[in-house]
Amino acid sequence: MFRSRLRVHTCKIVLITSMVWFAMDVAVIMYYSDCSTGSGWGCGRIESGMATSPREGRADHHKGRAIRNHQSEHEDLDLSGWHFDYPVGQLKRWEPRPTVPDHPGLPGEMGKPVRTPPGQEVLMKEKFKLNQFNLLASDSISLNRSLPDVRLEGCKSKNYPPLMPTTSIVIVFHNEAWSTLLRTVWSIIQRSPRPLLQEILLVDDASERECIDYLGLELEQYVKTLPVSVKVLRTVERSGLIRARLLGAKEVTGQVITFLDAHVECTEGWLEPLLARIAEDRTRVVCPIIDVISDETFEYVTASDMTWGGFNWKLNFRWYRVPQREMERRGGDRTQPLKTPTMAGGLFAIDKEYFEKIGRYDEGMDIWGGENLEMSFRIWQCGGTLEISPCSHVGHVFRDKSPYSFPGGVVNVVMKNSARVAEVWMDEWRDFFFEMNPELEGSYHSSFGRWWSNSSSLVGALGCLEVYGIDALVPAQTEALV
Ligand SMILES: *[C@@H]1O[C@H](CO)[C@@H](O)[C@H](O)[C@H]1NC(C)=O
Ligand SMILES: *[C@@H]1O[C@H](CO)[C@@H](O)[C@H](O)[C@H]1NC(C)=O
């Protein structure tokens, strides 16, 4: 009797002790496990920490993982002095690409202007109308044409991290010419370090029947022959730049999304400066310098590295001279990244997770226009940094006239998009916009609540708006305006 009671008692003690040890083990394991699975202790706090202190949270969050992965891979690399905002095991080694060879004598080589051959002026003018650029000239230039190295001397000798994240390039096109689209693709393939180039996603935003022949099956067959993974995606109906970009972004498998336009040419070393900035801090969004490819001659003309993006109170994007204080912040070194209030919009690289965290684009915007300011405000107000890297150059064919149709009229579309920007991101500063554009007050101002509550893409933005507010942004803006 006494004995059996003693046994029960002993059993209980043993059981309780084991349970206590078990509980302690669980606690210890959870404490030291990292957040990569999303279940580690404290991970929840960091994940939802966007609203408190995104930067500090993220840095701690990656440190543990980075060290562990480092030991298993890339052991032979000396990574001292480099800071990575990604687990090192996820980053890739890379080598710069060889310079694209020059073929003197061929049209447009080294970015030289192409002259219309005598007797073809009429044909040139006819073709010009199709895309609002000199198609005859474009078609005569090699898809692999050589370009001058337009970088500052200091850029050529810069050291970039030995490991960088991969990027997927997203390009939206609508009735694009074959030669400009494919020259864009070839310039990416030829001038991006192969291990860093995950894929190129071409999103056809409902190109019209005249273009279907070559932008349809022919394009799909052609991209299969390329040395890099290139996919063609198509919107079902005309969705506009923003929704088409979102369609592309959804398919991205690289760590960084690089948005480009469909008629650009990437120059030597264009990608490394963008990815290097993001490798160190995933909340940086980086634009290249946008050089000019002449719509008349396809000459490559370097743009100034002394301008940054601003806007006027009609919410039109404008370039302004970089103020002295920003030059001073960079220690007078023109190769240093420039913090810009806004971006032109066509070309930029952004970490994929960060893009999602800040709520991507405003899906309620139509066709084109205003989305670049919207994204700029979103980045600054969501704890990020928007930069121009003066060491990265991409040429872009600027056109005088948009060849696109804007259902509902161009002014209506752009103004409605701008009104959304004002309402969503500008707090009391929106009053300036509606002062300047009184005709919008009635039609758009009052429907603000409706957009706001109905737009899923704004949910992520709400959190950061509360924390940062427009004040973080506007001083830089207003200064850019004077
Ligand atoms: C571009 O150059 C690469 C490498 O030299 C070559 O394989 C490719 O066929 C060229 N593409 C075109 C369209 O000429
Ligand atoms: C709100 O969103 C739903 C579903 O996306 C859509 O059908 C509806 O028209 C939207 N309402 C307004 C007022 O925009």
Residues in CB range of 162: below 8 A, 6 or more apart = 77, 79, 82, 93, 94
Residue 451 alpha carbon to ligand 2 centre in Å = 9
Please identify, by atom number, the ligand 2 atom nearest to the C-alpha of residue 450.
Answer: 13
pLDDT band at 464 (very low <50, low <70, confident <90, very high): low
Q: How far apart are CA 425 and CA 315, in angstroms?
A: 12
Distance 212 CA to ligand 1 centre (A): 25
Q: Counting atoms of ligand 2 from 1, which one is nearest the CA of 451?
A: 14
The better pLDDT of the pair 437, 234 is held by 234
Spacing, Cα 31 to ligand 1 middle (Å): 53
Which amino acid, one-letter code, is at 55?
Answer: R
Q: What pLDDT score was predicted for residue 411?
A: 73
Give yes or no for residue 447 having a pLDDT over 90: no
How far, in Å, from the CA of 244 to the mean position of ligand 2?
19
Taking the complete model, does pTM exceed 0.75, yes or no?
A: yes
CATH code, 38-482: 3.90.550.10
Give the ligand at the shortest distance from the Cα of 188. Answer: 1
What pLDDT, on the 0 to 100 scale, is given for residue 449? Answer: 47
Instruction: Quickly count: other Cβ atoms within 10 Å of residue 449's Cβ.
Output: 9
Under the banding of pLDDT at 50, 70 and 90, the label for residue 369 is confident
pLDDT of 470 > 90? The answer is no
Residue 143, classified by CB atoms within 10 Å of its CB into exposed (0-12), middle (13-18) or buried (19+), is: middle
Where in the chain are the domains? 38-482
Which atom of ligand 1 lies closest to the CA of 182? 13
Tens-place pLDDT, residues 274-314: 999 999 999 999 999 999 999 999 999 999 999 999 888 88
Is residue 480 predicted with pLDDT exceeding 50? no
Name the residue at shortest CA distance from atom 3 of ligand 2. Answer: 454
**What separation in Å is there between the alpha carbon of 267 and the centre of ligand 1?**
16
What whole-number percentage of the chain has pLDDT above 70?
Answer: 77
User: And the tokens for 110?
Assistant: 């080294």
Protein residues with CB under 6 Å of any ligand 1 atom? 143-144, 186
| Pick from 98-102, 126-130, 211-215, 313-317: least confident | 211-215
CA-nearest residue, atom 1 of ligand 2: 454
Instruction: Output the CA 95–ligand 1 centroid distance in Å.
Output: 20
Per-residue confidence band for 23, with pLDDT thresholds at 50, 70 and 90: confident
Ligand 2 geometric centre to CA of 404 (Å): 26
Give the H or E element holding residue 391: strand 385-397
- pLDDT for residue 460 is more than 70: no
* Ligand number nearest to the C-alpha of 448: 2
450 Cβ inside 6 Å of ligand 2: yes
Ligand 2 atom 11: residue of nearest CA = 454
CA 120 to chain centre: 40
Mean pLDDT value across residues 309-329: 89
Mean pLDDT of the chain: 81
Nearest CA to ligand 2 atom 13: 450
Closest CA to 366 of 403, 398, 397, 404: 404
Cβ of 454 below 6 Å from ligand 2: yes
Assign 5 a pLDDT band (cuts: 50, 70, 90).
low
Q: Is 399 close to ligand 2, i.e. is its CB under 6 Å away?
A: no
- Pocket of ligand 2 contains residue 456 by CB under 6 Å: no
DSSP state of 53: -
Is residue 408 pLDDT above 70, yes or no?
no
| Greater pLDDT, 445 or 254 | 254
Taking the alpha carbons of 193, 195, 201, 202 in that order, is the dihedral positive or negative?
positive
Residue nearest ligand 1's atom 6 by CA: 144
Residue nearest to atom 4 of ligand 1 (CA): 190
**Under 8 Å CB-to-CB from 334, ≥6 apart: which residues?**
152, 154, 305, 306, 390
Residue 381 CA to ligand 2 centre (angstroms): 26
The CA distance from 374 to 359, in Å, is 11
Average pLDDT over residues 161-185: 95
Most ligand 2 atoms within 8 A of CB, residue of 446, 452, 454 to mutate: 454
Q: Whose CA is nearest to atom 2 of ligand 1?
A: 144
* Residue bearing the bigger pLDDT, 316 or 482: 316
Beta bridge partners of 257: 168, 350
CA 245 to CA 250: how far, in whole Å?
Answer: 9
> What is the average per-residue pLDDT within 9-19?
73
Least confident of 62-76, 132-146, 232-246, 306-320: 62-76
Pocket test for ligand 1, best of 102, 186, 219, 265 (most atoms within 8 A of CB): 186
Ligand 1 centroid, distance to 183 Cα (angstroms): 11
Q: Ligand 2 mean position to 60 CA, how many Å?
A: 40
Calculate mean pLDDT across residues 24-36.
56
Evaluated on CA atoms 137, 141, 143, 149, the torsion sign reads negative
Q: What is the pLDDT of residue 28?
A: 58
Q: pLDDT tens for residues 342-352?
A: 999 889 999 99
Q: Whose CA is nearest to atom 2 of ligand 2?
A: 454
| pLDDT at residue 406, as a whole number | 66
Nearest CA to ligand 2 atom 10: 454
Question: What percent of the chain has a predicted confidence (pLDDT) above 90?
Answer: 47
Q: Which of 85-89, 238-242, 257-261, 453-457 has the lowest mean pLDDT?
A: 453-457
Which ligand has the minimum distance to the alpha carbon of residue 227? 1
- Taking the centre of ligand 1 as the mean of its atom positions, its distance from the CA of residue 115, in whole angstroms, is 24
What confidence tier does 446 reach under pLDDT thresholds 50, 70, 90?
very low
83 lines ligand 2 (CB under 6 A): no
At residue 301, the 3 state secondary structure works out as: strand
Higher pLDDT, 453 or 117: 117
Ligand 2: atom nearest CA of 364 is: 14
